[in-house]
Amino acid sequence: MILGRVVGTVVATQKDEKLQGTKLLVVQQLDMELTPKSAYLIAVDTVGAGYGEVVLCVTGSSARFTKFTKDKPVDAAVMAIVDQLEVEGEVRYSKHQGT
């Protein structure tokens, strides 16, 4: 899965019929020190992620295996909101402390 932060939205009214009702987010990828990368994903929201939240994205065929994306033509989905990231014994991010 890919670590990222929600930084925007895409609106598209003319789209495959199975995408009606889906919300498309722009997710900026983060490295393991939470530094933004110059890489972005456009992913379907499946967990009610809000602007600025740190999230996990699933890509490829597995993006169709969330509750809301079954059999839809999507290759990326936000499927978790991150509470805490710990790397090498150090808490690099904690949602509730805003670290």
State the residues that interact with a second copy by CB under 8 A.
1-3, 7-19, 24, 26, 31-32, 40-43, 46-48, 56, 58-67, 69, 71-77, 79-88, 92
The pair of structure tokens assigned to 14 is 């003319």
Q: Which helix (H) or strand (E) holds 85?
A: strand 84-87
Closer to a second copy by Cβ: residue 16 or 98: 16
3 in Cβ contact with 54 (< 8 Å): yes
Shortest reach from residue 32's CB to a second copy, in Å:
5
Shortest reach from residue 40's CB to a second copy, in Å:
5
Going by C-beta distance under 8 Å and a sequence separation of 6 or more, which residues neighbour residue 13? none
Shortest reach from residue 96's CB to a second copy, in Å:
11
Residue 78 Cα to chain centre, angstroms: 3
Cα 95 to Cα 85: distance, rounded to the nearest angstrom: 9
Shortest reach from residue 87's CB to a second copy, in Å:
4
